[in-house]
Structure 1
Amino acid sequence: MTVTATPGPTGHPGYSETLPRQPESAAVARRLVRTALAAWGLEDLAEDAALVITELVSNASDHARLESIRVIVSRSGENRVRIGVVDRSRVTPERRTDSNGDQTRGRGLMIVDSVTECWGADLYPWGKQVWGELRCGKAPS
Structure 2
Amino acid sequence: MATDADRPVARFLAPATVRLPYRPESVAAARRFVTAKFREWSLDDLMDDATVIVSELATNAVKTGCLTRMLVGVRRPSDRVVRILVGDGSRSMPVMVETGPGHTSGRGLAMVHKLTDGRWGVTPLPLGKVIHADLTASAPASR
Whether TM-score is above 0.5 comes out as yes
Q: SS in structure 2 opposite 1:93?
A: coil
Give the superposition deviation at 1:22: 2.0
Root-mean-square deviation over aligned CA pairs:
1.7
Is the strand fraction higher in 1 or 2?
Answer: 1
- Answering whether residue 77 of structure 2 is matched by residue 65 of structure 1, we say no
Report how many aligned residue pairs link the two structures.
127
Contact map agreement 1:100 1:107 (CA 8 A) in 2: no
Give matches, 1:20-35, under 5 Å. 20-35=21-36
> Amino acid of the residue matched to residue 41 of structure 1?
S
Indicate the residue corresponding to 2:14 in structure 1. Answer: 13
Indicate the residue corresponding to 2:99 in structure 1. Answer: 99
Q: SS in structure 1 opposite 2:93?
A: coil
Give the superposition deviation at 1:64: 4.7
Once the two structures are superposed, residues 63-94 of structure 1 have per-residue CA deviations (whole angstroms, 9 ceiling, x without a partner) of 15225311111112221111111111122111
Indicate the residue corresponding to 1:108 in structure 2. Answer: 108
Contact map agreement 2:68 2:88 (CA 8 A) in 1: no
Contact map agreement 2:88 2:130 (CA 8 A) in 1: yes
